[in-house]
Amino acid sequence: MIKIYHYGQVGDEEIFARVDMVTNVETVVTEILANVRENGDAALFEYAAKFDQVQLESLEVTQAEIDEAFAAVEPEFLEVLREAAANIRAFHEKQLRNSFLLNNKDGVVIGQKVTPIEKVGLYVPGGTAAYPSTVLMDSTPAKIAGCGQIVMVTPPGKDGKVNPAILAAAKIAGVDRIFKVGGAQAVGALAYGTETVPKVDKIVGPGNAFVAEAKKQVFGKVAIDMIAGPSEILVVADATADPRFVAADLLSQAEHDKMASAVLVTDSYDFAEQVSRELEHQLPLLPREEIARTSIDNNGKIIVAEGNLMLAIDIANRIAPEHLELCVDNPFDYLDKIKHAGSIFMGKYCPEALGDYFAGPNHTLPTSGTARFSSPLSVDDFVKKSQFTYYTADALKAVADKIACFARKEGLDAHAKSAVIRFEDEA
C-alpha cells in the first residue's frame, strides 16, 4: 500500500527520498564496450545469442522486413501513429533555430551558424515492453533539425525480428537504418562503429541501467542526450480532483517498471486516503499488476500539505519530477509557479499518457531531479552552433590596444602580440 506522509511531521529525508539508482553494472558495461570496440559485429552476434537468446543471420533490418511489419500492423494503429507523428512534428517545428548575423559596427560582422548533427543514433528499448512512441519522439526532432542520417538500434525478439509496431513507427518517422542490437552493446556499436553499424555523432533515447551506464561511459567519444533514470510522475491535486483519475495516472507510471516512482502531493488528507483506496481497487485489474504493485509499495508516496496548495507546489518544485500533473481547476493560474519539471500536464483532463503518445511535446525527459537544470529532448539536441567573427583592418586597429591590454593582464603576451603585430609597420 502507498505510504502517506504529513508534510512537516516527518523528516525531509523521507519526504524527498528518491529511488536508489546505485547499480553494479559498471564493470560489466566496460567489458561489453571493450569487446564491441575490439571485435565489432562478432561481439554483437555473440551478445544477441547470450542476452536475446537468438542466433541472428544479419544485424540490419531489411526493407522487406520493414514492409512485412508495416503490413502486419492494424490499419487503425497506423492511423494513430500518423496522427501522433503529425502532432509531434507540428510541436517540434516551432523549436527550429535560425542562424543570425550582427553587423551594427563599421567593419565588424559577428554571428552564429546553426548546423545539423550529421549522424545520430536512436536507442529504442525492448524488453518488457515495446515503445513505438519513443521512435516518433526521438526521430522527429532529428528529422526537423536536418540530420544527415538517423540510425536506430533496438533489441530483437527470440524470433530474430523487431516488434512490427516499432518498425512501422520507424517507417512513418523516416528512420534511415535500423539494427537488431540492444543493451550496452548497441550503445558501443553506435559510439565506435562496427563493420555493419555506422559510428554516429550523438546517441539519444532511454534504456535500462546497462544502457544508461554505457551512454555515460562513451560520453566524450560521442554526445548523448541525458542519463535517464526510472520513470517518475508527480501529481499535484486538491480535493476537487477525482481520486479515480489521480490513481489511474499514478499507476500509468508505476506499471513501467518496479523502480518507477509515483507521487501525489495534495492539500487534503481525506483526498489522500481516497486515492490510496482507489489504488488498491485499480491495481488488481492491471495486467502488469506485479510491476505496478512493487513500484507503488516501494517507491510510491502521498505527501499531504494540509490546506495549502501553494506549499504542495513548492514541494513539487523541490522534487523536480520528470512528469508533473496539475490536477486542479484553473491550472494556468499556477503554471508560472512551477519552476522544475520535465513536462507539465495542465488540468483534470490531461493525463500524462497524453504526452507519452499523442499531444506533441516530447516524452524523452529529464529524470531523478535533473529537471532543475535539464530540458526535454528537442530540435536543439540535434543541432550544433558555430560562431563566426569578421573584422576589417580598420576595425581591428581600433581595438588592438584594448585586446593587448586584456591579454597582458592575463599574462599572455603572445595573445597581445597577435593583435598588435598587424599594425607595427605603420608606426
Q: Which three cell numbers stand for residue 179?
A: 539494427
- Tens digit of pLDDT for each residue in 137-187? 999 999 999 999 999 999 999 999 999 999 999 999 999 999 999 999 999
335, with CB counted inside 10 A (0-12, 13-18, 19+), is exposed
Residues 56, 197: Cα–Cα separation, whole Å:
15
Average of per-residue pLDDT across 212-226 = 97
Q: Is 415 a catalytic residue?
A: no
Residues 402, 419: Cα–Cα separation, whole Å:
9
What local confidence, expressed as pLDDT, does residue 427 receive? Answer: 60
5-9, 44-48, 405-409: segment of lowest average pLDDT: 5-9
Residues 78, 309: Cα–Cα separation, whole Å:
42
Active-site residue among 256, 323, 340, 363?
323
Q: Which three cell numbers stand for residue 292?
A: 505496478
Q: Is 322 a catalytic residue?
A: yes
- Tens digit of pLDDT for each residue in 43-82? 999 999 999 999 999 999 999 999 999 999 999 999 999 9
Active-site residue among 65, 278, 322, 352?
322
Contact assessment for residue 140 and residue 170, using Cβ atoms and an 8 Å cutoff: no
